[in-house]
Amino acid sequence: MDLSDYPADKLAGLYLKIRDKRDALTREYEEKHKELQEQLDIVADEMLELCKENGADSIKTPAGTIMRSVATRYWTNDWDSMYNFIKENDALGLFEKRIHQVNMKQFLEENPDSFPPNMLVDSKYKIIVRRSKS
């Protein structure tokens, strides 16, 4: 697609048209995905009940093996206590290995002479198109 001869107003219009179509497809996908997820949840609940009734963690069938397992999640509602716990127990491995982007940007803006060693940075321009109010 060669758009080098398009004036700015045509490019902006084309951008908005493509974005609107993509947004419509996303909404359609999300609606259908939600419906299918609800159906899967109903079937999964039925299989959980079947495993419970049979005292089984797996049931082999010609269509496939049903397996029941325990999924455990951990979270906190008191981050100050969690930070203290992690610090007191030298348990930094309890954190996920990623950097909070907004907080790091703010930190670097407030501390321009303090840059973490071996931190990588990638900055690039991006385009934002706002719809005209006309």
Q: Is residue 128 part of a domain?
A: no
Q: Is residue 95 part of a domain?
A: yes
The pLDDT of residue 5: 93
Q: Is residue 23 part of a domain?
A: yes
Instruction: Find the mean pLDDT for residues 102-130.
Output: 94
The distance of Cα 11 from the centroid of its chain, to the nearest Å, equals 30
d(CA 99, CA 25): 32
Q: Is residue 17 part of a domain?
A: yes
Whether the predicted pLDDT of 134 surpasses 80: no
pLDDT tens for each residue of 49-79 = 999 999 999 999 999 999 999 999 999 999 9
Question: Residues in the chain, how many?
Answer: 134
Q: Is residue 15 part of a domain?
A: yes
Considering only CA atoms, which of 22, 10, 3, 12 is closest in space to residue 132?
12
Count of domains for the chain: 1
Q: How confident is the model at residue 1 (pLDDT cuts 50, 70, 90)?
A: confident
Give 13: exposed, middle or buried? Use CB within 10 Å, 0-12, 13-18, 19+. middle
C-beta separation of 129 from 10 below 8 A: no
Helix (H, G, I), strand (E, B) or coil at 93: helix
Identify the domain containing residue 58 by its residue range. Answer: 8-110
Q: Is residue 68 part of a domain?
A: yes
DSSP 95: S
C-beta separation of 67 from 58 below 8 A: yes
**Region of residue 100 (left: phi > 0; alpha: psi -120 to 50; beta: else):** beta
